[in-house]
C-alpha cells in the first residue's frame, strides 16, 4: 500500500482541487492507498473541508494538530502515522504534481532504489522567491556535509526500510530533505518543472524560508563556525601587521594615523565579535533545544474510518 503525507495550513482555496486530483493520482498507482492530511493548526475552513472529504472516502485520514507546529513537524506527524509499505511526501500547494507519484513508485518497485525524490529542473512563479531558493540550494550544495540534494525538496517517496531509518533520527530542529539524504540508501530522482501555486497566497514567506535555510545550514554544515575561525585568523594577522607598522613608524618618526582610524578599527572589531557571538549563540540555542527533548507536535484529533481506528 502507498501512503501519502500532505501538510495543510490555511489552504481552504485549494482543498477542492487538491483532494480529488491527489486521490485520482494515487488510484492510478493502486486502488488501495492511504492519503494522510495533517492540518497544522489552520485558522480557516481547511480542516472542515478535509473532514468532509474524509467522510466520503475511507482511504483519507485527517490528523489535526493542537496548534501550528511548523511545516517540518507536520510532515513528521504524518510520516509517523503512515502505515503503507511505500510512503510519499508532498506539499499541499499543488506546486508538486501528484501525477508524478506513479513514476516515483515505479522506480522504487522496478529499480534498485529505496528513496526517489522529485528534482526541480525549473521553477515557475515568483522570480524573487525562486532566485532566493536557488541561492540557498547552491550555498547548501557547497557547504553541506551530505551529498548534493540537486534541487530536491520535500516531494519524495521511500520504502518502509528508508522511512524507518528517517524516523529513527530524533532532531528537534529538522530539515527533512537533508535528513532524507543523510540516511543514505539507494536514492534516485524524477525530474519535473515546479509549477506556481494553483491558487491562494504562499504560506512559505521569505522569513520562513530564511529560518528553514538556517536550520539546514546549521544542522548539516560546519560552515558558520569555520567562517568565524577563518575571519578571526585573518583579523589577527591584519592587526598584528598593523601593530608592527605602528611600532616601526614610531621609531622612524613617521606620522601615525589619527583617532579616526582607531575608532573605526574598534567598531569593526566589535561588529565582528557580535557576528561571531551570534553564530555561537545559534549553536548553543540548538543544543539547548535538543536537550529539552520536547515532542515535535501534539495531535488534537484523528479523523479516519472506523475500520482504521485502534
Alpha-carbon distance 210 to 175, whole Å?
Answer: 12
Alpha-carbon distance 196 to 96, whole Å?
Answer: 9
Q: What is the mean pLDDT of residues 246-255?
A: 69
Query: Does the pLDDT at position 7 exceed 90?
Result: yes
Q: Where are the beta strands (DSSP E) in the chain?
A: 2-8, 33-39, 60-65, 86-89, 115-123, 152-159, 187-194, 299-303
Between the alpha carbon of residue 132 and those of residues 20, 23, 209, 210, the distances in Å are 32, 32, 9, 9
Alpha-carbon distance 251 to 244, whole Å?
Answer: 11
Work out the percent of the chain whose per-residue pLDDT is above 70. Answer: 71
- Joined together, the cell numbers standing for residue 291 give 536537550
Between the alpha carbon of residue 264 and those of residues 16, 202, 250, 272, 291, the distances in Å are 60, 43, 21, 12, 40
Instruction: Specify the pLDDT at position 199.
Output: 54
Instruction: Specify the pLDDT at position 201.
Output: 62
Q: Which CATH superfamily is domain 2-206+295-308 in?
A: Spore Coat Polysaccharide Biosynthesis Protein SpsA; Chain A (3.90.550.10)
Instruction: Tell me which residue of 209, 206, 174 sits closest to 289, measured CA to CA.
Output: 174
CB crowding 69-81: b at 16 or more within 10 Å, else e: bbbbbbbbbbbeb
Our CA dihedral for 43, 49, 50, 53, rounded to 10 degrees, sits at 170
Instruction: Specify the pLDDT at position 38.
Output: 94
If pLDDT is split at 50, 70 and 90, which confidence band does 178 have? confident
Instruction: Specify the pLDDT at position 102.
Output: 92
Q: Where are the domains of the chain?
A: 2-206+295-308, 223-292
Q: What is the mean pLDDT of residues 96-109?
A: 90
Contact partners, residue 83, CB within 8 Å, separation at least 6: 1, 3, 34
Query: Does the pLDDT at position 259 exceed 70?
Result: no
Instruction: Specify the pLDDT at position 260.
Output: 56
Higher-confidence position of 243 and 43: 43
Q: What is the mean pLDDT of residues 269-289?
A: 75
Between the alpha carbon of residue 226 and those of residues 15, 201, 214, 276, the distances in Å are 45, 38, 15, 10
Q: What is the DSSP letter of 293?
A: -
Using DSSP's 3-state secondary structure scheme, residue 6 falls into strand
If pLDDT is split at 50, 70 and 90, which confidence band does 310 have? very low
Alpha-carbon distance 70 to 195, whole Å?
Answer: 23
Instruction: Specify the pLDDT at position 233.
Output: 74
Instruction: Specify the pLDDT at position 308.
Output: 61
Alpha-carbon distance 287 to 110, whole Å?
Answer: 42
Instruction: Tell me which residue of 132, 131, 118 sits closest to 211, measured CA to CA.
Output: 132
Residues 117-130 have pLDDT tens digits of 888 776 565 566 55
Residues 184-236 have pLDDT tens digits of 888 888 888 877 655 556 555 556 666 666 666 666 666 676 676 777 777 77
Amino acid at each position: 500500500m502507498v501512503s501519502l503525507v500532505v501538510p495543510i495550513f490555511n489552504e481552504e482555496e485549494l482543498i477542492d482541487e487538491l483532494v480529488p486530483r491527489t486521490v485520482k493520482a494515487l488510484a492510478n498507482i493502486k486502488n488501495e492507498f492511504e492519503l494522510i492530511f495533517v492540518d497544522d493548526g489552520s485558522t480557516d475552513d481547511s480542516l472542515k473541508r478535509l473532514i468532509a472529504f474524509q467522510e466520503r472516502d475511507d482511504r483519507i485520514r485527517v490528523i489535526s494538530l493542537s496548534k501550528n507546529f511548523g511545516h517540518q513537524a507536520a510532515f513528521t506527524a504524518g510520516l509517523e502515522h503512515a502505515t503503507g509499505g511505500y510512503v510519499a511526501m508532498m506539499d499541499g500547494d499543488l506546486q508538486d504534481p501528484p501525477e508524478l507519484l506513479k513514476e516515483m513508485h515505479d522506480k522504487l518497485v522496478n529499480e534498485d532504489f529505496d528513496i526517489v525524490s522529485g528534482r526541480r529542473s525549473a521553477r515557475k512563479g515568483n522570480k524573487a522567491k525562486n532566485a532566493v531558493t536557488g541561492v540557498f540550494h547552491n550555498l547548501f550544495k557547497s557547504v553541506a556535509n551530505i551529498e548534493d540534494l540537486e534541487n530536491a525538496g520535500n516531494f519524495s517517496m521511500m520504502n518502509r526500510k528508508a522511512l524507518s531509518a528517517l524516523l529513527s533520527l530524533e532532531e528537534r530542529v529538522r530539515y527533512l530533505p537533508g535528513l532524507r539524504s543523510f540516511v543514505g540508501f539507494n536514492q534516485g530522482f524524477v525530474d519535473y518543472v515546479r509549477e506556481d501555486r494553483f491558487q491562494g497566497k504562499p504560506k512559505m514567506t521569505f522569513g520562513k524560508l530564511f529560518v528553514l535555510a538556517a536550520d539546514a545550514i546549521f544542522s548539516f554544515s560546519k560552515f558558520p563556525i569555520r567562517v568565524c575561525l577563518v575571519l578571526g585568523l585573518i583579523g589577527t594577522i591584519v592587526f598584528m601587521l598593523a601593530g608592527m607598522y605602528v611600532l616601526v613608524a614610531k621609531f622612524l618618526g613617521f606620522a601615525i594615523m589619527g583617532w579616526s582610524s582607531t575608532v573605526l578599527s574598534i567598531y569593526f572589531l566589535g561588529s565582528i565579535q557580535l557576528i561571531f557571538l551570534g553564530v555561537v549563540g545559534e549553536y548553543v540555542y540548538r543544543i539547548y533545544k535538543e536537550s529539552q527533548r520536547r515532542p515535535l507536535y501534539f495531535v488534537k484529533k484523528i479523523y479516519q474510518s472506523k475500520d482504521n481506528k485502534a
